[in-house]
Amino acid sequence: MDFALDLPDSRSKRAPLSPKKENIIPFSIPECKAYSNQFSNKSLKDTAKLVPRLVTVLPGCKDRLESTVSLLTKYKNLDHFAYERKDVWHIGLGSRSSLQVDPRGKTALMTGQGRQEECPIVGSLTDFVRDFIEDQSVRHEGKIFGQVGFNYGAHARDQSYTPGRWPILSIIIPELEITLRPDGVTLQGYDQQQLNEVCDFLKSTSVMPFRVPEPRPVNTHVNGKEYKTLVSKALAEIADGKYNKVIVSRAVDLGNLVDMPSTLLHGRRGNTPARSYIMSHAGFQATGFSPELVMAVQNGIVVTEPLAGTCSRTVPKEEDAEMLTHKLLSDPKEIVEHISSVKEAISELNRFCVPDTVSVKDLMNMKERGSVAHLGSSVYGHLSPNADPWTAFNVLFPSITASGIPKDLGLKAIDHLETRPRELYSGAVLLIDPKEEFFEAALCLRIVLQDSTNTWIQAGAGIIAQSNPDREFTETNEKMASMAPYIVFEGKGSKKAYA
């Protein structure tokens, strides 16, 4: 599913890339029912044409992770996304245009061309986002980055939910796009001065010593009694036939600001994720190591990768794979949990795929993911001609392995069992390329989250009839061990958060 871009050269004039806030000129517009009506100002409509980008190519970096962290540290005050996929880092710096939807999914804030608009969303939020992305793909080349909060799943199903502080969804078209591949670096943007600045920086990092602060491990063995009580409540509801499975999570507040790029560096070196990501947009930040995809779609093929069934990686390295596989496949609870998730994934794909095209590959393979191992499978299908990636996403999101079975009932159970909104935890980070008909959503687990009021990590466990509260609490600690040892705090940190 890897892809490349063939972009023309051009010239344009813009301000130099620098880590400072853009001067936004606000203006208001009347209520609207579709995104096509949002940009009612004539001057904006007149500019709805493709703006070609400048392209610069450099030799490959010595260490793509270090180069990514160096860039994000230098430009940390800019909005940014970085997404690692198959040994390639996709980085977006700055915001050329963006969409941010409030926690209730009722109001959209759009920025671009030095302006911002806010208006109510009337009708389908998904249609609104579709139209925004279609419009932006006409105006701008390249990749689109985004994040989707956990509550989007309930909103898309017209279920009630407890709103949080984070946007339920945000999309960003970067000012500058950098792709770090094993064989070279490609920079694409709209201003030669910006490109030169970043090129010079990347060249300098290849010869300078690379140093980042050291992490301070976090104590995650807190709130055990409260979590076990939630698990017991879930087990009682399962026994009453209210649902078959629910993922119950708990959060550990860190008490101090986290250095996100440095945490990305240490965490990535200590993990074996399916995808890695870091984002900072409008004051909301996250860094994580996704164990699985919610879904990927390219050229009409859709895949989802349910991981369910977990054990800690505590055996010697030379015996790791064989012993972990045996341990997982010898545990009836883990097998039941995984197979039920795969069956549900098949059912979901059949809702939007061409009949008789859904299949399972690599059933119950062991996947090593940092401090834990999982049972993993891949479920594929051919997207129906009357469906698009958002059709698939609205069915598959949130992931079965982060919500419950049935999913609708699992979402309701999570909302009343857990004590606070999940925000981006068990949501998704998006990488979209309309030109390549590519859409990928990585599940946001093994994550540290940060906003203006709090910084925390979070993990959950799948609760089925065979679950034990003590074991599920232990499992959350095992999963948090993929993040907790690698967190770098800004300054001296918070003593109460340290192990």
Q: What's the pLDDT tens digit per position in 169-228?
A: 999 999 999 999 999 999 999 989 999 999 999 988 765 566 778 888 899 999 999 999
Mean pLDDT of the chain: 86
Architecture per CATH, 54-481: 4-Layer Sandwich (3.60)
Q: Which residues contact 360 (CB under 8 A, 6 or more apart)?
A: 342, 346, 377, 378, 379, 380
Chain segment 471-480, per-residue pLDDT in tens: 999 999 999 9
Three-state SS at 490: coil
Nearest of 163, 437, 397 to residue 294 by alpha carbon: 397
Three-state SS at 90: strand
Report which secondary-structure segment, H or E, holds 89.
strand 88-101
Q: How far is CA 314 from the centre of its chain?
A: 28
Higher pLDDT, 92 or 499: 92
Confidence tier at 376 by pLDDT (50, 70, 90) = confident
Averaged pLDDT, 396-400: 96
Q: Kindly list the distances between the CA atom of residue 157 and the CA atoms of 124, 179, 284, 393, 407, in Å, as whole numbers in the listed order.
A: 11, 36, 25, 12, 10
Averaged pLDDT, 112-132: 93
Task: Just list the catalytic residues.
Answer: 292
Predicted pLDDT at 319: 52
Averaged pLDDT, 298-315: 82
Predicted pLDDT at 140: 87
Chain segment 5-57, per-residue pLDDT in tens: 222 233 233 344 544 433 333 333 233 344 433 333 333 334 456 677 888 88
Averaged pLDDT, 131-151: 94
For residues 489 and 499, give the distance between their C-alpha atoms in angstroms, rounded to a whole number: 13
User: What is the amino acid identity at position 51?
Assistant: V
pLDDT for residue 367 is more than 90: no
Tokens linked to 262:
């440095």
Lowest model confidence (mean pLDDT) among 122-126, 167-171, 360-364, 446-450: 360-364
Nearest of 281, 362, 268 to residue 69 by alpha carbon: 268
**Percent of the chain clearing pLDDT 90 (strictly above):** 67
CB 227 within 8 A of CB 461: no
Tokens linked to 460:
């959950």
Tokens linked to 26:
């606000």
Confidence tier at 92 by pLDDT (50, 70, 90) = very high
Predicted pLDDT at 495: 36
Confidence tier at 335 by pLDDT (50, 70, 90) = confident
Check the CA dihedral 360-364-366-371 and report its sign: positive
Report which secondary-structure segment, H or E, holds 198.
helix 192-205
Predicted pLDDT at 477: 94
Confidence tier at 315 by pLDDT (50, 70, 90) = low
Each domain of the chain, given as residue ranges in start order, spans 54-481
For residues 371 and 135, give the distance between their C-alpha atoms in angstroms, rounded to a whole number: 42
Is this structure's pTM higher than 0.85? yes
